[in-house]
Structure 1
């Protein structure tokens, strides 16, 4: 059997199921990837990231090359490498245009609109809720609790007054008392 290093690109492509053939193509084309990546050196991505994206393009070329299409493997690989790098750059520039307020922290994992907390965060959240419950129970009157519940639900002062059969001044006073009582609570 002929040494893998002496085989042509087309021979190696026909052997692409063989790990040694793929490795040889990667070794041969890594300088090509680096040369293409250098063209984009003034982009938002660092050189290592550009090379990584180019290597992804090279692997895609190795897996999808068809000799029957007419282009040589080298030409096809260069096109795939370039396209992969350009796609990564487009993605980065799109992310740059996203308003900061719409970004989600990496520390929060959202799945089906449910926030999954770490055990520590979950414990702290339960402690905060427990503290809030006891403050609401101990510090607020039943009237103030009812005003707060309706206020949190989005009711306006006049709606709360109507539902509780009180005037709006009584509701405003209750909300001011609630704010003062909750202002000193540490969570």
Structure 2
């Protein structure tokens, strides 16, 4: 005889009523444990989500992100370059001076869906996770350009879930502050 869903629900309801009548303390204990575990997960989840925001830069720091350290050039008495002091050798270039082909190549290799996401790409993260599972190792990354910027500008290189979630939060914040329009050139 094939059981129907409605019949199965009715049977479960009958068994529950019988169990409540025969074992009221056991039912109360199960309910109390359920409530305690639910409260623990709720409190733990709130604590975890709160801890994600701790230590992340504020909006002002995100706005200052474009003020990257530049190299310091030291000239001699004859106005000739004597030497350069730098922690990281960066030379600021305006976007109009960058070849559109370079921009397209960067997006094609690093973040093909750059204009479709808002900081992080769940499709890309999911497909990278599947590839990594199939290969049994980290064969492919799922970070967008914005996530890479967030990680390199503000976060540690730790490979933990906590840091990865902070990276997602920061990437979303960065995308809310900055437009992608200037990079969309022909």
TM-score past 0.5 threshold:
no
Q: Which has the higher contact order (CA 8 A, sep 6+)?
A: 2
TM-score band, normalised by shorter chain? under 0.3
Q: TM-score, normalised by structure 2?
A: 0.25
Larger Rg: 1
Which has the larger helix fraction? 1
